[in-house]
Amino acid sequence: MASSNRPLRVYLCDLTHDTVVLVSDTIPINVGFIAAYAKKHHGDAIDVRLFKYPQSVIDAIKQAPPDVIALSNYSWNSNLSERIAGYAKELRPDTLTVQGGTNFPHKQEHQTGYLLARPNTDLHVELEGEQAFSGLLSTLLAGPERGSKALDGREIPGCVYILPESRRSAKPVLVHGPRPERLRCLDDIPSPYLNGMLEHFFDGRLTPFLETNRGCPFLCTFCHTGSGYFNKINMFSLERVKEEIAYIAPRAAKHGIVNLHIADTNFAMYPRDREICEMLVKTQKDLGWPRQIMATTGKNAKERVIDITQIMGNTFSVNMSVQSMDETVLKNIKRDNIKIDHYVEVNKSLNEAGRATKGELIIGLPGETRESFVRGMRQIIEAGVSSVCTYSLMLLHGTYFKDPEYRDKFEIKGKYRIVPLNFGDYAGERVFDVEESGIANKDMSFDDYLWIRGLALMVEVMHNSRPFHELFKQASARSGITLFDFILRLYGDLGNAPPKVRELVKGFMDETRGELWDNEQDLTAHYRKEENYRKLATGEVGGNVIYKYKAMSLAFGAEAWIDYLASHCRAIASESKAGPEAETEIALLAAFTKNKLAGLLDAAGDVAPRSLETRYDLIAWKQAPLGTPLSAFLGEKPVVYDFFYTKEQLATRADQFTRYGTHANALSKIVTRVSNVESLFRKIVPRGQRDGDAAKEAVDQFTRYTLSN
């Protein structure tokens, strides 16, 4: 029993794997909220410390074992948290070990098995954790026992545990406290930024995390916030949010951090978000932060989203999530989508304003077939979305997809894989965080799943962020072929692609198959072996496969992809009986695109300015409608186009390579940490307009024309 003469020693951890790269690189505002609320209610009776890095908490446990260690539990760090809980018990067996987070079943009949599979975790906090964890500390402070022995069968609101003496019995006893009401006034939680609790996390490695509200009005079955518990939206006050931005900005800028994460599930869906954006624009102008914002925008009220986010320009893109375009699928997952004509209208408006837009699809949702998925992807791309993110279905705890009845109804089959890059050796034990991925159901076979994954790579490399847009526009002008049909054509002819392209696609498909296992036990046994673990540690396997091969394609294979697209442009020109000028145009656009992408994501790449001279007015062609031939823009006098990286781009590049690294898996992390990869391309300006306002206007025009066409 801990001495009652000293404060209760509490460690709160939101840990990240950091073996290959810092995977979850955000400031741990989640445990900051819990710590701030607990400190508000218990004051000097508790001594609270916060941790992000595994080795730092391992060292702290060695030096001063805690009475209570509480760890976040998400799919990407659940087993890591379990390992650190176990290490705490190795040094002090009566330490109370707690987990809390979304990776936990909602139904009591599934919670017992979940906790039995985690013997190092004494107790799990359900749902929003501030009140429950503070109440747990009240129980400890009021009783004679301050560690795990305090779990004597009493019900603690918001907490779930197995009675310790029943864990090894035939009938373990689950003790489930009542769920506390959600906090309606979120300002009851002191700001862990403003009270200084998060100050030491401004270390040049972590990205600021901002939460302005909680909850989601939608009931999607694949998401943990689809539970009715989260249906009501509760907000932090606008004044507090502004104070936090003012606090964060100079600290992030001091360390050269360029990005910001916003935790809201539907940012910009509410009128007050305009004022938040205006505040961010002010800090951007005054301090150069943030240059990139990662946020999920609202699923409804798209006109408001457009209006609110317009003031941020290309700092972040509007995320037009749909997940599926099939009505049967949407009914199965309890989701309502924006109407397709509204979807097209919104994208048109954003593109005309030079804004990037993102769409999302999930492979393997119940009721989806290969054919319906392809139809949906066609609809989204032809609606004008500049990037389509295609995700595999995650069968997550806390969602319907872990419910046996729901899975049986749709014959959902899963396989297991390492959550990308989430593994490591901690206190002498190798840990792998694993997720179950939906790979088949009664409407989609595993072969269909693999084919769609290949298509998703083609879209990710060739369409998303529009790296090769000039060649797509050329093909359309010659034959009227749609962007999506051009992608399908290229996908179907990979056998004739350049060797580098074939190598990249084959590597992707091999890793896609190889990363999947029938069960978690076989997966972890395989990677515990030294020769297999070494492949993980060197990045040969275990990364985010689609972003890894996108990054490798753009950094080290862009010229091969350009040559492949150009070859099909030539074939299309031949099929349409184009004249000899077509070859000149295609060669010009291939050179133009290579210059635009030169050095992208390649730390050793040449970043010196480049130029290209031509008599074609490429800017005017960009402004023309899709289908307009380049030949109509052949002028009398040559124009020299300069391709260059701005100072801001070079600063962003330096920050990214410093924080994440330069190997393939680091590059895959970078492409997920910018709001739009297109913002990393070289700027293109006619010579003589590079300096001052004229250059800025030229760059802005070029961006608008690219997105519009």
Structural domain contains residue 468: yes
> 476 and 598 share a domain?
no
> 214 and 164 share a domain?
no
pLDDT computed for residue 700 by the predictor: 47
Structural domain contains residue 419: no
> Phi, psi (5° rounding) for residue 363?
-80, 130
Structural domain contains residue 698: yes
- What single-letter amino acid sits at 667? L
Tell me what the pLDDT averaged over the chain comes to: 90
Helices (H), 557-646: 558-575, 581-597, 618-623
Greatest alpha-carbon pair distance for the chain in Å reads: 91
Q: What is the pLDDT of residues 473-492, one digit of tens each?
A: 999 988 989 999 999 999 99
User: Among 154, 176, 198, which residue terminates a domain?
Assistant: 176
> 196 and 165 share a domain?
no
> 360 and 461 share a domain?
yes
> 458 and 595 share a domain?
no
> Phi, psi (5° rounding) for residue 547?
-75, -30
**CA-wise closest residue to 655 among 257, 313, 300, 375:** 257
Structural domain contains residue 429: no
Q: Which strand (E) or helix (H) includes residue 282?
A: helix 273-287
Residue 652 CA: distances (Å) to CA of 291, 607, 655: 8, 13, 5
Structural domain contains residue 604: yes
> 34 and 126 share a domain?
yes
Structural domain contains residue 428: no
CATH number at residue 54: 3.40.50.280
Higher pLDDT, 683 or 675: 683
Structural domain contains residue 138: yes
For residue 90, count other CB atoms closer than 10 A to its CB. 14
pLDDT computed for residue 552 by the predictor: 95
Question: Residue 303 — pLDDT band, cuts 50, 70, 90?
Answer: confident
> 371 and 267 share a domain?
yes
> 496 and 469 share a domain?
yes
| pLDDT of 708 over the 80 cut | no
For residue 371, count other CB atoms closer than 10 A to its CB. 12
Alpha-carbon dihedral 462, 468, 473, 476, rounded to 10 degrees: -40
> 543 and 603 share a domain?
no
Residue 128 CA: distances (Å) to CA of 139, 176, 190, 279: 18, 15, 15, 28
| pLDDT of 380 over the 70 cut | yes
| pLDDT of 217 over the 80 cut | no
Give one DSSP letter per residue of 472-541, joined into a string.
HHHHHHHH---HHHHHHHHHHTGGGS-HHHHHHHHHHHHHHHHT-BS-HHHHHHHHHSHHHHHHHHTTSS
Q: What is the pLDDT of residues 596-612, one digit of tens each?
A: 999 999 999 999 999 99
Higher pLDDT, 222 or 562: 562
> 509 and 600 share a domain?
no
> 482 and 601 share a domain?
no
Which residues touch 449 (CB under 8 Å, ≥6 apart)?
A: 363, 364, 392, 439, 440
Split into its structural domains, the chain has a count of 3
Structural domain contains residue 154: yes
Which residues touch 437 (CB under 8 Å, ≥6 apart)?
A: 392, 393, 394, 395, 414, 415, 416, 417, 516
Mean pLDDT of 28-46: 98
Domain around 505: 186-393+451-555
Residues 679 and 292: beta-carbon distance below 8 Å: yes
User: Among 176, 200, 235, which residue terminates a domain?
Assistant: 176
Q: Which strand (E) or helix (H) includes residue 48?
A: strand 46-51
> 617 and 544 share a domain?
no
